[in-house]
């Protein structure tokens, strides 16, 4: 079972009972805070002997003094027939307010630890604590995966409102919830008798009256040498029983003292289990540390929030999950289809393939690539793998390669179909990797590796024909494109750069209808986005979205892209033709490797042409004035210096630290890498200081920039490759 499954199912099931623990916990956290108000700490030089004397003077019938975790001292005695318990001032033994152990009705505590069901309830609560510990731990694993490791743990969180709430609150309360559930388990174990706290049976000792009379405790060297701050409890001997003894309990153990001689008759050290228990109680209840009690109370309240947001996330994922119709069980299926796809775009092809195979009479089982395995019933295995980012595996299939390499070779022939985009140098890299591992393992191949460019339905149909031949069946693939749910955007303004007749360009600013918080919690409407993320635009009549880098984030209140008109490009023609008031259909696709995530290092931004758009977005939201340096390359400042007025203003506002431009179609012109070379000394200095680099533009431009930077970095024994590996260098190329 994966950490995700553990987190989800335990969270949903045990989580609703944990709501009871959390809510009651909030109330129970009140006590330590109230107790702290009564605390009058012992002065450093106060001995137990002096304390006993003072209290005895103020309350002659005192039987017991307790030192509460809050630091307060409470004396127990009798007022005539009436038992009494009062706070006492350790400075002078003065009797203060009456002592009440708790401000709350008893049932709150009992509900918290046994659901009012006695021992059965205690076992139940212990089980919830165990579940909670597991949920928190799995949550940490998932959090690290999502944020990209410990170093980015504090980074910006993206996703739907419910997801962001879950992660933002989760990363704060996770440790508190884990600690309180582990300590709860320890406390349960002692109560349920699984752990023994006591050192052994109490010694049967009595005071032996010699010739002496009983002495007041103040005269015992043992008590004189004992610091009142270390005291837990002091029991006075009964006046009526001549054999009664003094009993003193400290952090370290307990002792029995003869009332005549003042000698210690017996001493028991506190067991390790007892000391651990004492710590567990402090950590779980916050008694003796009221700020911690407040933290615990807040963590308790957060369980409600975490459970509700978790429920919404699960519900939404369930609704959006691709459900393959007619999916056979693994053990019965003769054809297995395994899929790796980051954003679900490949699932449309999967369903088409699945349906076609079922129509041919096969029993087909389709699943994620991370579940790769075969059974005796398996006759054919088909793998459909999309590549994500720079040739990585999609997140859900991250361990798939290792898994396939671990499994023994199967006898069923395998065909791998890759999905990607030829514009990227890593076209279908992951599908290639999968195929290589399968070949290396010795799996027979049904078809050679085929790669589908930009989700081409035509190419897919051709592959279907090859498959039909290999299977010798009349297989026909009917692919209907699947697009993520889109939102309608309204164009509010456009800024035109019509000067270049071969490729007019415009900066388009859109607005969208904001949904209510309930819709946003459920992930309806436009997803949260930041500059550097991508917006997918679906032109009317086409099923295939085109992606544009975003020059703004949700917090800017508008959605801005820079669109260049390509002759014959359906999507750019659609966008370029929009006038204010017109609408477009759009959805957000995250670009986590590229977007800046609240880092504080200096940033080097390198952009050419419309590639400046996401960089402009970064600068616009640079409210913290991180030093950002922009290198901008274009053709002619009069024609294609996009965002120029804004960039000038951002320089004045110190959102942008420096600007270097290079234009190619002016006398003495050149490309942006020329500007880099010119500025080599400063760039070296910046990169030595840990600066991060973002490059956006065409593929050729990206290559040239990397080459120029490699030359510049040579003397530092650094390379673009190394920077990429550290996540300091990212490209968005088109």
Partner 1 sequence: MSKPMSKPLLATTVAAACALALPALAHGRQLTLTTQLKNYGGDGAYLAVYLTDSKGAYARTLWVAGGKAKFYKHLADWNRLSVGDTKRLAGVTGASVGAGRTLKVTADLADALIDAGYEIRIDAAAEDMRDSPSDIRVPLTTQNAGKPQTGKQYVQTLTYQLK
Applying CB under 8 A, the residues found at the interface with partner 1 are 63-64, 76, 78, 81, 83, 85, 101-102, 106, 109-110, 113-114, 116, 118, 122, 190-191, 193, 197-198, 201-204, 243
Q: How far is CA 425 from CA 103, 393, 593, in A?
A: 68, 15, 17
| SS3 call for 488 | strand
Residues whose CB is less than 8 angstroms from the CB of residue 725 and which lie 6 or more positions away in sequence, other chains included: none
Q: Which CB atom, from 183 or from 610, has the smaller least distance to partner 1? A: 183
Q: Which is nearer to partner 1, 190 or 661 (CB)?
A: 190
- The residues with which 493 forms a beta bridge, in sequence order, are 509
Q: Which residue, 20 or 85, is less far from partner 1 as judged by CB?
A: 85
How far apart (Å, rounded) are the C-alpha atoms in residues 584 and 575? Answer: 8
**Rounded to whole angstroms, how far apart are CA atoms 313 and 324?**
21
Task: Give the helix/strand (H/E) hosting 267.
Answer: strand 264-269
Which residue from 657, 718, 658, 726 is spatially nearest to 688, judged by alpha carbons? Answer: 718
Give dist(CA 304, CA 488) in Å, integer. 34
CA–CA separation, 72 and 36 (whole Å): 8
In whole angstroms, what is the distance from residue 522 CA to residue 513 CA? Answer: 16
Give 240 or 325: the residue with its C-beta nearer to partner 1: 240
Are 354 and 313 in contact, with CB atoms under 8 Å apart? no
User: Smaller CB distance to partner 1: residue 254 or 387?
Assistant: 254
Strand duo 335-340 + 82-88: pairing: unpaired
The nearest distance, CB 16 to partner 1, in angstroms, is 22
Q: CA 73 to CA 43: how far, in whole Å?
A: 12
Q: Which of residues 149 and 203 has its CB atom nearest to partner 1 in the complex? A: 203
Q: Which is nearer to partner 1, 11 or 237 (CB)?
A: 237
Rounded Cα–Cα distance for residues 659 and 648 (Å): 9
CA distance 181 to 179: 5
Least gap, CB of 110 to partner 1 (angstroms): 4
Contact assessment for residue 509 and residue 491, using Cβ atoms and an 8 Å cutoff: yes
Q: Least distance in Å: CB of 304 to partner 1?
A: 24
Closer residue to partner 1, CB minimum distance, 115 or 135: 115
In sequence order, the 6+-apart residues with CB closer than 8 A to the CB of 532 are 549, 550, 591, 594, 595, 596, 614, 617, 618, 694, 732
**Residue 143 vs 206, nearer CB to partner 1:** 206
Taking the complex as a whole, how short is the minimal distance between the CB of residue 113 and partner 1, in angstroms? 5
Structure tokens at 147: 């944020």
Least CB distance to partner 1 at residue 56 (A): 17
The CB-of-248 to partner 1 minimum distance in angstroms stands at: 14
Q: How far is the CB of 283 from partner 1 (least distance, A)?
A: 16
Contact partners, residue 134, CB within 8 Å, separation at least 6: 6, 10
Name the minimum Å distance from CB 50 to partner 1.
23
**Smallest Cα–Cα separation from 631: which of 618, 615, 645, 655?**
615
Chain centroid to CA 280: how far? 26
- Nearest distance from C-beta of residue 122 to partner 1, angstroms: 7
Residues 6+ apart with CB under 8 A from 727: 148, 593, 692
- 98 vs 395 by CB, closer to partner 1: 98
E strands along 498-533, which residues? 505-512
Which CB atom, from 203 or from 557, has the smaller least distance to partner 1? Answer: 203
Phi, psi of 586 (to 5 degrees): -145, 155
Give min distance, CB of 191 to partner 1, in A.
Answer: 5
> Which one, 279 or 566, has the nearer CB to partner 1?
279
**CB-nearer residue toward partner 1: 204 or 652:** 204
- Provide CB contacts within 8 A for 99, sequence distance 6+: 38, 74, 85, 86, 87
Smallest separation, CB 5 to partner 1 (Å): 33
Can you tell me the distance from the alpha carbon of 353 to that of 479, in angstroms, rounded to the nearest whole number?
A: 8
C-alpha–C-alpha distance, residues 313 and 308, integer Å: 9
Quote the CA–CA distance of 563 and 546 in Å, as a whole number.
11
CB of 119 to partner 1, least distance (A): 8
- To the nearest whole angstrom, how small is the minimum distance from the Cβ of residue 177 to partner 1? 21
The CB-of-526 to partner 1 minimum distance in angstroms stands at: 51
Element (H, E) at 458: helix 457-471
| CB closer to partner 1, 141 vs 214 | 214
CB nearer partner 1, residue 188 or residue 387: 188
Q: How far is the CB of 235 from partner 1 (least distance, A)?
A: 8
């Amino acid at each position: 079972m994966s950490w995700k499954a553990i987190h989800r199912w335990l969270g949903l099931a045990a989580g609703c009972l944990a709501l009871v623990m959390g809510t009651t916990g909030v109330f129970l956290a009140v006590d330590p805070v109230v107790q702290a108000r009564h605390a009058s700490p012992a002065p450093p030089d106060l001995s137990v002997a002096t304390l006993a004397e003072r209290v005895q003077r103020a309350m002659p019938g005192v039987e017991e003094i307790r030192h509460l975790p809050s630091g307060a001292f409470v004396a127990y005695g009798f007022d005539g027939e009436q038992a009494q318990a009062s706070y006492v001032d350790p400075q002078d033994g003065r009797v203060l307010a009456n002592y009440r152990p708790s401000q709350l009705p008893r049932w709150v505590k009992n509900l918290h630890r046994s659901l009012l069901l006695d021992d059965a309830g205690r076992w139940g609560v212990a089980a919830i604590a165990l579940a909670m510990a597991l949920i928190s731990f799995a949550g940490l694993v998932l959090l690290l995966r999502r944020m990209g490791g410990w170093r980015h743990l504090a980074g910006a969180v993206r996703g739907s409102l419910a997801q962001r709430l879950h992660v933002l609150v989760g990363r704060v309360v996770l440790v508190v919830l884990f600690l309180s559930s582990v300590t709860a388990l320890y406390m349960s174990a002692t109560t349920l008798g699984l752990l023994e706290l006591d050192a052994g049976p109490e010694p049967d000792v009595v005071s032996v009256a010699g010739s002496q009379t009983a002495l007041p405790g103040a005269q015992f060297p043992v008590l004189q040498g004992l610091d009142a701050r270390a005291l837990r409890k002091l029991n006075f001997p009964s006046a009526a029983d001549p054999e009664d003894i003094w009993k003193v309990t400290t952090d370290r153990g307990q002792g029995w003292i003869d009332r005549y001689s003042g000698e210690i008759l017996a001493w028991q050290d506190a067991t390790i289990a007892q000391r651990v228990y004492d710590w567990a109680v402090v950590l779980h209840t916050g008694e003796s540390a009221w700020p911690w009690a407040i933290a615990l109370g807040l963590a308790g309240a957060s369980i409600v929030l975490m459970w509700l947001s978790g429920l919404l996330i699960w519900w939404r994922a369930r609704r959006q999950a691709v459900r393959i119709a007619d999916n056979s069980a693994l053990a019965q299926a003769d054809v297995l289809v395994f899929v790796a796809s980051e954003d679900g775009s490949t699932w449309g092809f999967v369903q088409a393939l699945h349906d076609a195979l079922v129509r041919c009479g096969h029993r087909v089982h389709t699943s994620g690539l991370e579940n790769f395995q075969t059974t005796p019933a398996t006759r054919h295995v088909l793998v459909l793998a999309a590549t994500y980012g720079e040739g990585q595996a999609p997140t859900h299939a991250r361990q798939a390669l290792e898994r396939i390499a671990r499994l023994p070779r199967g006898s069923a022939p395998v065909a791998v179909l890759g999905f990607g985009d030829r514009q990227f140098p890593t076209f279908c890299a992951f599908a290639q990797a999968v195929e290589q591992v399968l070949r290396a393992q010795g799996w027979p191949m049904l078809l050679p590796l085929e790669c589908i460019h930009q989700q081409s339905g035509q190419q897919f149909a051709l592959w279907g024909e090859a498959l039909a031949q290999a299977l010798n069946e009349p297989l026909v693939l009917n692919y209907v494109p699947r697009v993520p749910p889109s939102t309608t955007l309204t164009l509010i303004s456009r800024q035109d750069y019509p000067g270049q007749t071969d490729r007019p360009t415009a900066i388009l600013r859109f607005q969208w209808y904001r949904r209510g918080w309930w819709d946003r919690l459920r992930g309806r409407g436009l997803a949260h986005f930041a500059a550097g993320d991508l917006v997918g635009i679906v032109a009317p009549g086409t099923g295939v979205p085109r992606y544009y880098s975003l020059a703004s984030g949700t917090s800017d209140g508008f959605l801005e892209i820079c669109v260049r008109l390509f002759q014959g490009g359906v999507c750019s023609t659609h966008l370029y033709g929009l006038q204010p008031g017109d609408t477009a259909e759009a959805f957000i696709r995250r670009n986590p490797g590229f977007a800046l995530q609240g880092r504080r290092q200096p940033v080097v931004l390198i952009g050419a042409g419309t590639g400046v758009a996401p960089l402009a977005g970064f600068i616009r939201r640079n409210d913290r004035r991180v030093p950002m340096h922009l290198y901008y390359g274009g053709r002619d400042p009069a024609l294609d210096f996009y965002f120029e007025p804004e960039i000038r203003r951002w320089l004045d506002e110190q959102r942008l630290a420096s600007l270097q431009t290079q234009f190619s179609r002016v006398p003495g012109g050149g490309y942006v890498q020329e500007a880099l070379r010119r500025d080599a000394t400063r760039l070296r200095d910046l990169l030595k200081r840990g600066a991060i680099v973002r490059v956006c533009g065409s593929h050729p431009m990206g290559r040239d920039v990397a080459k120029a930077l490699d030359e510049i970095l040579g003397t530092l024994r650094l390379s673009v490759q190394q920077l990429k590996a550290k996540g300091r260098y990212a490209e968005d190329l088109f």
